[in-house]
Amino acid sequence: MSDYPDRVHIAEMGPRDGLQNEPLVSTQAKIDLINTLSQSGLTHIESGAFVSPKRVPQMADSAEVLTHILRHSNVTYSALTPNLQGYNQAKANHADQGAIFTSASEGFCQSNIHCSISESLERFIPVMEQAKQDGIKVRGYLSCVIDCPYDGATSPQQVAKIAQALLQLGCYEISLGDTIGTGTPVAIQRMLDAVLNVIPRHQVAVHFHNTWGQALVNVHQALTMGVATIDSSVAGLGGCPYAPGASGNVATEDVLYLCQGLGIETGVDLEMVAKAGWDICRELDVSPLSNTSLALLSK
């Protein structure tokens, strides 16, 4: 028996996780993308990342983006803040929320942020302490919750352990990432069963990549288990620079269409999101990776 939530909260990843693995686009194109998404009913848009511009040059203009977007009072504009320097930059440029990230696998943690899992958690303590003083909420991302490109399969118990550690650090929500997109509904169920034993359901989000075409069915599996926060990326853009073979995120348009069909409220205008997707894809000179967008275009 399924236990669908009455309403789903979409955390839009396109301007950050989407564009960080795509060719460089202009700062104005990023601003226009966020401005269009802000009109769609989305209430959480991850708008940039304060990381090393040498490692992720696509995010080098995050300060300018956050400074020049047209903000809506009902929208949270968040940024990735992996260390205290990045957090302070995000705060100075009026990011509404921060986000930290680690991995459920040692191999990916070493490749992505060049330290062990335990060391990554220690590094986040100053960020969390400062954010608490500032009254700024911080989200936690956990990568490789199903498989790791270096270590192979990740045990559900390991995912639950690290997710709980992020919660104990002070993250208000933990986003569980199938970073290389190898998950299937059975694997997602096992992983979520373990996590939901130690973390309240309302503090769990899912973040699925579509490498093997399973992202949308995996979203459906999470919905049947009552998970009500879904990370997605407009037009299915994205991937991960440090996960070989990882493709784009599940497309926001497809998640919205799925929720419509299930009778789940989102408060988001599907056609407005599709417009934003087509606009940014023209800038990138690619086609949207969203079946829903393609169907809307063919009407």
Question: In the numeric block, which tokens belong to residue 131?
Answer: 């954010």
User: In terms of DSSP bridges, do strands 98-103 and 76-80 run parallel, antiparallel, or are they unpaired?
Assistant: unpaired
Q: CA-to-CA distance for 297 and 81, rounded, in angstroms? A: 37
Closest CA to 269 of 282, 253, 281: 253
Closest CA to 99 of 113, 75, 82: 82
* Residue 150 phi, psi dihedral angles, 5° rounding: -110, -35
Contact, 213 vs 229, CB < 8 A? no
240 in catalytic set: yes
Question: In the numeric block, which tokens belong to residue 221?
Answer: 């599996």
Q: CA-to-CA distance for 80 and 86, rounded, in angstroms? A: 8
Query: How many C-beta neighbours within 10 Å does residue 174 have?
Result: 25
Q: CA-to-CA distance for 108 and 244, rounded, in angstroms? A: 11
Cβ-based neighbours of 161, under 8 Å, separated by 6 or more: none
Contact, 45 vs 78, CB < 8 A? yes
Question: In the numeric block, which tokens belong to residue 284?
Answer: 């990138």
Contact, 17 vs 249, CB < 8 A? yes
Residue 229, strand partner residues: 9
Q: CA-to-CA distance for 231 and 237, rounded, in angstroms? A: 12
Catalytic residue among 109, 144, 148, 240: 240
Q: Which residues are catalytic?
A: 240
